[in-house]
Amino acid sequence: MNIQTDLFHTVEDLRRQPLVVAYGLGVDSTAVLVEFQRRGIRPDAILFADTGNEKQETYDYLPVINAWLLSVGFPLVKVVRHFPNKSKKWPEYSSLGENCLTNATLPSLAFGFKSCSLKWKVLPQNIWVDRWLLAKRFWRNGGKVKKVIGYDASPKDMKRYYKVKGMEDEKYEYWYPLVDWGMDREACKASIRAAGLPVPPKSACVFCPATQPAELREHKREYLRLIVMMEARAKHRLEGCMSSGELLQDFERRLSEWEVKVRASSGKRLEILLNKRPVLKKVGAGCAGLWRKATKERPAMMTDFILSEGLLPVHEVEFLQKRVPVEIERNLLAFAEGGRVVNWHDFLEMFTEEDAIDELGHSCGGCVFG
């Protein structure tokens, strides 16, 4: 007999370890849900962290999986997001792409880090769980929430798995069921099909540095335009694109900022800063685009690949490269001075095909972007 402790949870609920699925709306995490249903395992929460820049095909899969979850008695997907603090220096942004355009930078993966994933994926999910009554009560009794991660048993994911295997966390116990069950990518797809579901598209931001050239060739034009805008906005700050003189100026700026911080610090903070003294970079040594470094197969900048493959017309790319950085700086300056500026959504709408055609003085889209 289950005794009700409140409107939502029974005593049995509170004794059982809460099970949360970190859902990416992709193949692996969808296979996890399908296998859970097949094996009689019911998750307590399914969380999808939306960066605001997933492919439309990924968003289109959300109602598909929710209909299936409803049919098998699972909780629906809870969409969570990162909400940055408001600033007086720049307009409010609500997506990873807008974050990068605001700060004239690229996703951290382009620099060899993964802080964009932590900020826009992991943190919003953790904040939701922090407020979840079932988790709070379980933590209070000394337990840990079990968080499900959808790494499969393919060689690529197994490398990721071995890097995090055994990781300790005071709040979470991490579980990689697809690895335990020996399911690789193809087995995941087969499981999804067997459940009567379509296989979801690859889940990733439209400008993800891990995008392969073949995938970029299949990108929608609106995704390609955002990539061009992002790289154009960040280019002046990318060390791999700087001349020796620009690198020297950048070094002097960073050194000056570092010296100010050193003078204002003490103790442990000072010790950390002293070990991070800026160094003068060599020409071509830093990040030079979303793909970071050029290889035999592709350039460092996705924009260069877009041009070489004819995925967007040259004049459209040049228009975006010339206008977008200038207009963003103008917007930021106006906002900092207390002026009214358009929001990011409306700003980016200004650079759709139709508006770009108007700017170029053409009346026929086929003539400009055909």
Concatenated DSSP letters of 271-323: HHHHTT---PPPTT-S--STT-S--SSS-S-HHHHHHHTTSS-HHHHHHHHHH
8-state DSSP, 54: B
Look up the pTM and report it.
Answer: 0.83
C-alpha span between 331 and 342 (Å, rounded): 8
Return the pLDDT at 239.
87
Strand partners, 147: 20, 174
Q: What is the pLDDT along the chain (370 residues), one digit of tens a residue?
A: 444 333 444 445 445 899 999 999 999 999 999 999 999 999 999 999 999 999 999 999 999 999 999 999 999 999 999 988 888 888 889 999 999 999 999 999 998 887 678 889 999 999 999 999 999 999 999 999 999 999 999 999 999 899 888 888 999 999 999 999 999 999 999 999 999 999 999 999 999 999 999 999 999 999 999 999 999 999 999 988 888 888 888 889 999 999 999 999 999 999 999 999 998 888 877 899 999 999 999 999 999 999 999 999 999 999 999 999 999 999 999 999 988 888 898 898 888 765 544 444 443 333 332 2
| Residues in contact with 73: Cβ distance below 8 Å, sequence separation at least 6, in sequence order | 42
Return the pLDDT at 361.
46
Return the pLDDT at 15.
59
Classify residue 149 by burial, with Cβ atoms within 10 Å: 0-12, 13-18, 19+.
Answer: buried
In degrees, rounded to 5, the angle at the alpha carbon of residue 174 between the alpha carbons of residues 171 and 177 is 155
Helices (H) and strands (E) in the chain, counts: 19, 5
Burial 13-36 (b: 16+ CB within 10 A, else e): bbeeebbbbbbbbbbbbbbbbbbb
| Residues in contact with 272: Cβ distance below 8 Å, sequence separation at least 6, in sequence order | none
Long-range contacts of the stretch 133-136 (C-beta < 8 A, 24+): 133/6, 133/8, 133/9, 134/9, 134/13, 134/14, 134/18, 134/44, 135/18, 135/20, 135/171
C-alpha span between 166 and 176 (Å, rounded): 11
8-state DSSP, 198: P
With CA atoms as reference, report the closest residue to 72 among 46, 48, 38. Answer: 38
In degrees, rounded to 5, the angle at the alpha carbon of residue 190 between the alpha carbons of residues 184 and 191 is 90
| Residues in contact with 30: Cβ distance below 8 Å, sequence separation at least 6, in sequence order | 23, 65, 188, 192, 197, 199, 200
β strands within the chain, DSSP E: 19-22, 45-49, 77-80, 145-148, 172-175
Identify whether the C-beta of residue 146 lies closer than 8 Å to the C-beta of residue 18: yes
Four-CA torsion 193, 145, 75, 181, nearest 10 degrees = 20
Return the pLDDT at 283.
80
Return the pLDDT at 366.
34
Return the pLDDT at 353.
64
The tokens of 29 are what? 């995490």
The tokens of 257 are what? 């900022």
Identify whether the C-beta of residue 192 lies closer than 8 Å to the C-beta of residue 34: yes
Sheet bearing 172-175, strands edge to edge: 77-80, 45-49, 19-22, 145-148, 172-175
8-state DSSP, 267: H
